């Protein structure tokens, strides 16, 4: 059995946050029906490079395990078709700008009137309420406005965007969490509900250390490079063949760390005697440490620190990370066969369930690939399906 086997999700989303949310549900067995407009489909199908035999890598990366269907929601017949589909669904996920779904007649109020058990999730840049709710939302904008860019980068440097689309992915995960919570509540109440989250709130919610520093110290958080906000040494250091990270901030790790890097007297130096003063003199500490670490390879230091029980790891490129033996042993890389792109790789499922594990069983759908199949499931006859297809309704 797969955990969400009997849950049907209608996916009206595009680009990153919404598709990522619905993919997480699909990986755990939900029947996710990706609804796109006829013709070109959602915007991500045209995003690239990279393209694989004309198929967008960006689209393939967040739409696996879904079935694809086309509906022209700008027509009255298309709207009625969507309403009929919604009567069979448990969840609807959308990430239009606020107000669009209401104009289309596919908003929560409309659908809950048709199907009171529906859980309806909206993901937007800034949420459905508040002074910024009507603004367009992009990961870059959310990272800037929530403070993330102000604390990313080297000390004293310019603001830098996080290398990952962190508010997009975060909003997708929070949306998934909200949907599953609402589905669990429905087991007790019998009713669905509205779930509202945003890129902006994801950025704020993940700023745990930074908000703490500001509220409890009065200091405005600044960039720390690879370092930690309140602990040191907990950062990257240079080796002869690249960089590695080490977390030797615990009291029992600090003296061992100093012995390994051949600076056994450092723990008794007044500039570095405890964590508080080490943070104040961090620049000096880094210079002293790297004078030692740059003379040996990453693997040399990894072996030394591992033997001493000090957490450490090499800074790897994605070429190294995706081929790492641990990555592969945890099944975080998988292979799929796509009818056009051919053999493609995909990231694995990061949560392992012992009794109802997820499964990656199909690549992202072709545009409208399962339209006829789904229409038949909800009661349409072949002649009616043929007419709707010819008229651009589905």
- Report whether 263 contacts 255 (CB < 8 A): no
Cα(359)–Cα(348) distance, integer angstroms: 9
Out of 168, 196, 241, 324, the active site residue is 168
- Report whether 90 contacts 9 (CB < 8 A): yes
Phi-psi region of 36 (alpha: psi -120 to 50; beta: other; left: phi over 0): beta
Cα(361)–Cα(23) distance, integer angstroms: 12
Tokens of 145: 């406005």
Q: Which residues contact 6 (CB under 8 A, 6 or more apart)?
A: none
Name the residue among 170, 188, 168, 167 with its Cα closest to residue 178. 170
Q: Can 168 be counted among the known catalytic residues?
A: yes
Query: What's the CA dihedral at 7, 8, 11, 17 to 10 degrees?
Result: 0
How does strand 242-247 pair with strand 234-239?
A: antiparallel
- Report whether 378 contacts 86 (CB < 8 A): no
Cα(7)–Cα(29) distance, integer angstroms: 8
Annotated catalytic residues are: 168
């Amino acid at each position: 059995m797969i955990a969400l086997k009997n849950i049907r999700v209608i996916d009206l989303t595009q680009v990153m946050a919404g598709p990522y949310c619905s993919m997480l549900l699909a990986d755990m067995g939900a029947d996710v029906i990706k609804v796109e407009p006829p013709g070109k489909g959602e915007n991500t199908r045209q995003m690239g490079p990279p393209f694989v035999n004309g198929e967008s890598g960006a689209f393939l990366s967040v739409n696996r395990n879904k079935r694809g269907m086309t509906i022209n929601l700008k027509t009255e017949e298309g709207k009625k078709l969507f309403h009929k589909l919604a009567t069979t669904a448990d969840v609807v996920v959308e990430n239009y700008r606020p107000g669009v779904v209401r104009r289309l007649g596919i908003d929560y109020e409309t659908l809950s009137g048709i199907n009171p058990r529906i859980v309806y999730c909206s993901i937007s840049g800034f949420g459905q309420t508040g002074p910024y709710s009507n603004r367009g939302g992009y990961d870059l904008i959310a990272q800037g406005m929530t403070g993330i860019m102000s604390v990313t980068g080297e000390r004293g440097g310019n603001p830098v965007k996080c290398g990952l689309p962190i508010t997009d992915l975060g909003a997708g995960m929070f949306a998934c969490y909200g949907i599953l919570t609402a589905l669990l509540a429905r087991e007790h109440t019998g009713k669905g509900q509205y779930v509202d989250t945003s890129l902006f709130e994801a950025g704020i919610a993940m700023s745990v250390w930074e908000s703490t520093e500001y509220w409890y110290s009065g200091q405005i958080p600044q960039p720390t490079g690879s370092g930690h906000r309140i602990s040191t040494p907990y950062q990257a250091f240079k080796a002869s063949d690249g960089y590695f990270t080490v977390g030797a901030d615990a009291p029992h790790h600090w003296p061992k760390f100093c012995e390994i890097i051949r600076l056994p007297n450092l723990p008794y130096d007044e500039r570095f005697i405890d964590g508080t003063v080490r943070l104040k003199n961090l620049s000096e500490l880094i210079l002293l440490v790297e004078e030692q670490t740059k003379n040996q390879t990453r693997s040399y230091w990894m072996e030394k620190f591992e033997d001493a029980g000090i957490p450490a790891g090499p800074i790897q490129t994605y070429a190294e990370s995706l081929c790492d033996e641990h990555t592969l042993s945890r099944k975080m890389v998988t292979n799929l066969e796509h009818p056009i792109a051919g053999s493609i790789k995909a990231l694995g499922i990061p949560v392992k369930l012992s009794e109802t594990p997820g499964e990656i069983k199909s690549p992202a759908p072709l545009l409208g690939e399962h339209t006829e199949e789904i229409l038949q499931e909800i009661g349409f006859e072949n002649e009616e399906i043929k007419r709707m297809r010819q008229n651009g309704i589905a």
